Amino acid sequence: MSDLLLDVQGLETQFRTPDGIVHAVNGVSFGLKEGETLGVVGESGCGKSVTMLSVLRLIASPPGKVVAGKAFYRGQDLLQMSDEEIRHIRGAQMAMIFQDPMTSLNPVMTIGRQLIEPLMLHLGMNKDQANARAAELLEMVGIPHASERLSDYPHQYSGGMRQRVMIAMALSCNPQILIADEPTTALDVTIQAQIIELVKRLRDELGMAIIWITHDLGIVAGLAQRVLVMYGGFIIEESQVIDLYANPSHPYTIGLLGSLPRLDEIERQRLFSIEGMPPVLYNKPTACPFAPRCKWVMDRCWQENPALTEVSPEHRVACWVDVKTGKAR
Amino acid sequence: MTTYIIRRLLLVPFLLMGVTILIFGMLQFLSPVERSALYVRDFPKNEKALDAIIKRYGLDRPMYEQYWRWLVGVVDVATGERSGGILFGDLGYSRTSSQPVIDLILSRFPNTLDLTIWAVAPVILVGIWLGVQAAVHQNGIIDQAARIFSIIGTSFPTFVFGLLMLMIFYANLGWFEPGRLADEYMRVVNSDAFRHYTSLITFDALLNGRFDIFIDALRHMFLPILTLSYISWATFLRVTRSSMLETLRMEYVTTARAKGLPERDVIFKHAQPNAMIPVVTLAGGSVVGLLGGVVITETVYNYPGIGAAAAKAATTLDVVTMLGFALFNGIILIVANLVVDILYATVDPRVRLS
């Protein structure tokens, strides 16, 4: 047994569509240590969210299906559990917050009722205890006059406040893992910063591990200890956060970092972008999925899909090219 | 919530006035002689007497004066008797049924109400339940069956479906008869021994402890109920199904699952209340549809309700009776919409607070 809190091995998820089977996640393996913050980055449609939803078995089936892999949480495979067993993990051990706070709360239920549900379900509180705790939770995420606002409906809250409610709800049962699926994407920049500060503070207070999905490398730099870069349903680079920014080793990661606007730029330049679009994979790729967009591309890239290999301690990359020399590894 | 209801209630008098003005406007298409049916029972044969009536009830006066008289009626100076006046419940005299229009409506409406109550209950309960089941088990057996069932329901014209049912279940099998009650039971109902608590025969039969009459009434109502409810049933099912399917894809449903709620709670506590919002809107519209459908259904099954009476009045050009029914339907619609508005606010907090 490893010391990993969450250990995902060879996860594969597919979606049945009218155009064929889409291979959304293609053998993803990663681990999460207790109390660690893991950033997952990549463009839209590269399989970040689907990976995490698959782990919690929240993929709508049909059309989605987890076809292979294991996901061990404290030694138990989440993917082999009964529906009843996984329900006791969801919300209680692993909680999730979503991208759009405007749609992730139920519009016809009061905030209070939505908050007390997991408390009564997982912690066995009665209604009064749960209501009192719900008010504390709202207080904790910085909503003023919390006890009065329990009877309000989501549309009476602003976007930033709704995301705070989502965070309060997710943390209500002291989960070991918080999965945050682009929780700041739909918010404006000042609110984004507040939400990130809030999550950092709560992480220090409560000590949960976090998986933070985002396409914003700037957020990851300030928040995560380790980063996974995903592309086309594969993990293509995995590293400690400092090492990733100092020595990005996959052409895609270099492209992502290059397309960040910088404040310390001396000359005004056109913002760099990676040409092309991420692929939709109808067949399991036999070549490197990034090859069509890569400027280091070689013959081998079209013939074999590279596996993750260690390039330096705790830094693994899936690429045939050593970008420092421009030659094959 | 209370302020919302009060605001809605304040609108009602204005809507009622709108309806009366509209109906009164239609009355203006009649000749003064025809309009005299609003006030007198028999048309005098000679012209002099006719002129006297027109003068007396002001049928040649300007419109606003006539409207006022139509609302409050005309009081005979000598006898102090009032004739006409819809505010006092006098909607004129129905030539086709030889009684005041209001009496006709009041004697027929309980029958229609009886029918609609028994038709609406299965529509709402089973239609919504099946719609939810069909959505939850999308493309499953219930879903497929419900889809076929609802396509047949929505595409069958009422009169064709009604006649078909009559042919199979009455003409061929003899299970269900048209009409209201068997003759011997009708005699019991009309006798003094039978107490009329609600005027609705099925409920009165139960309250009088006459279970045999209750069964006979239901037996007569079975085919009209089936005809009336099948079509709305199918519509409710389809709307519930598609609304539920859409709701199940919403992010808050994923949130509910991510909280670890049992699937039963996810569907019935989180998804269904949201999916009901368009269904409530539909319910308002289907009251109109039901009233329209009642005309055909009651005629096909020779059921003595308000729809059959209206159809008879329409085919014999009894305009005063027709407009009486129109006014009555207008009032029912306003009440139905009020109920829907209040229901709407109870299912959707965004409505009552804005």
Number of domains in chain B: 2
Is B62 inside any structural domain? yes
ipTM of the complex: 0.85
Give the closest-approach CA distance of B1 to chain A in angstroms. Answer: 14
Contact of A211 with chain B, judged by CB distance below 8 Å, is answered with no
A236, A253 contact by CB (below 8 A): yes
Q: Which residues pair with A77 in a beta bridge?
A: A72
Q: Which residues pair with A240 in a beta bridge?
A: A226
Interface test with A, best of B251, B253, B267 (most A CBs within 10 A): B251
Contacts of B12 (CB under 8 A, 6+ apart): B334, B338
Q: Which of residues 24-83 of A touch B (CB under 8 A)?
A: 53, 56, 58, 60, 83
**Which tokens is B268 given?**
């019935």
Is B61 inside any structural domain? yes
- Same domain (yes/no): B65, B205: no
SS3 call for A39: strand
- Same domain (yes/no): B263, B241: yes
Predicted local distance difference test score (pLDDT) of residue A111: 92
- Where does a domain end: B90, B125, B159? B90
Structural domain including B54 reads: 31-90
Q: Give the residue from A166, A167, A202, A220 showing the smallest Cα distance to A35.
A: A202
Longest dimension (CA), chain B: 86
Q: Give the residue from A45, A9, A37 showing the smallest Cα distance to A276.
A: A45
Contact of A103 with chain B, judged by CB distance below 8 Å, is answered with yes
Is B12 inside any structural domain? no
- Same domain (yes/no): B37, B170: no
- Same domain (yes/no): B150, B169: yes
Is B66 inside any structural domain? yes
Query: Using CB atoms, which residue from A89, A100, A156 is nearest to B251?
Result: A100
Q: Measure the CA–CA gap between B277 and B304, rounded to whole angstroms.
A: 35
- Same domain (yes/no): B148, B36: no
CB-based contact A104 B251, cutoff 8 Å: yes
Sign of the alpha-carbon dihedral angle for A152, A156, A162, A164: negative
Is B24 inside any structural domain? no
Predicted local distance difference test score (pLDDT) of residue B231: 75
- Same domain (yes/no): B58, B148: no
CB atoms within 10 A of CB B341: 19
For residue B47, give the amino acid letter. Answer: E
Contact of A105 with chain B, judged by CB distance below 8 Å, is answered with yes
CB-based contact B260 A96, cutoff 8 Å: no
- Please report residues of A whose CB lies closer than 8 A to that of B263: 83
Contact of A133 with chain B, judged by CB distance below 8 Å, is answered with no
- Same domain (yes/no): B147, B175: yes
Contacts of A277 (CB under 8 A, 6+ apart): none
DSSP B204-256: HHHHTT-HHHHHHHHHHHHHHHHHHHHHHHHHHHHHHHHHHHHHHTSHHHHHH
Residue entry with tokens 């949201």: B274
Residue B148 sits in a domain whose CATH number is 1.10.3720.10
Q: Measure the CA–CA gap between A18 and A23, rounded to whole angstroms.
A: 14
- Same domain (yes/no): B105, B86: no
**With a cut of 70, which residues of chain A have pLDDT below it?**
1-2, 262-263, 265-269
- Please report residues of A whose CB lies closer than 8 A to that of B260: 87-92, 118, 121-122
Predicted local distance difference test score (pLDDT) of residue B194: 78
Contact of B272 with chain A, judged by CB distance below 8 Å, is answered with no
- Same domain (yes/no): B45, B178: no
Contact of A178 with chain B, judged by CB distance below 8 Å, is answered with no
**Which tokens is A154 given?**
């989501």
CB-based contact B347 A104, cutoff 8 Å: no
Q: Give the residue from B304, B311, B312 showing the smallest Cα distance to B178.
A: B304
For β-strands A64-73 and A37-41, DSSP reports them as unpaired
- Same domain (yes/no): B61, B200: no
User: What's the DSSP call for residue A125?
Assistant: -
Is B278 inside any structural domain? yes
Q: Give the residue from A55, A72, A94, A56 showing the smallest Cα distance to A1.
A: A72
pLDDT digits (tens), chain B, 354 positions:
788 888 888 989 999 999 999 988 888 888 777 777 777 777 777 788 888 888 887 888 888 888 888 888 788 777 777 777 788 888 888 888 888 888 888 888 888 888 888 887 777 778 888 888 888 888 888 888 888 888 887 788 888 888 888 889 888 888 888 788 888 888 887 887 778 888 788 888 888 888 888 888 888 888 888 888 887 778 888 889 999 999 988 889 999 999 989 988 998 999 988 998 888 888 777 766 676 668 888 888 888 888 888 888 888 888 888 888 888 888 888 888 888 888 888 888 888 765
A233 by Cβ neighbours in 10 Å (0-12 / 13-18 / 19+) ranks as: buried
- Please report residues of A whose CB lies closer than 8 A to that of B350: 107, 153, 155
Predicted local distance difference test score (pLDDT) of residue A105: 92
Q: What is the pLDDT of residues A58-90, one digit of tens each?
A: 888 778 888 888 888 988 888 888 888 989 989
SS3 of chain B: helix, strand, coil, percent, to 5:
75, 0, 25
Is B11 inside any structural domain? no
DSSP B25-45: HHHTTS-HHHHGGGT-SS--S
- Same domain (yes/no): B65, B196: no
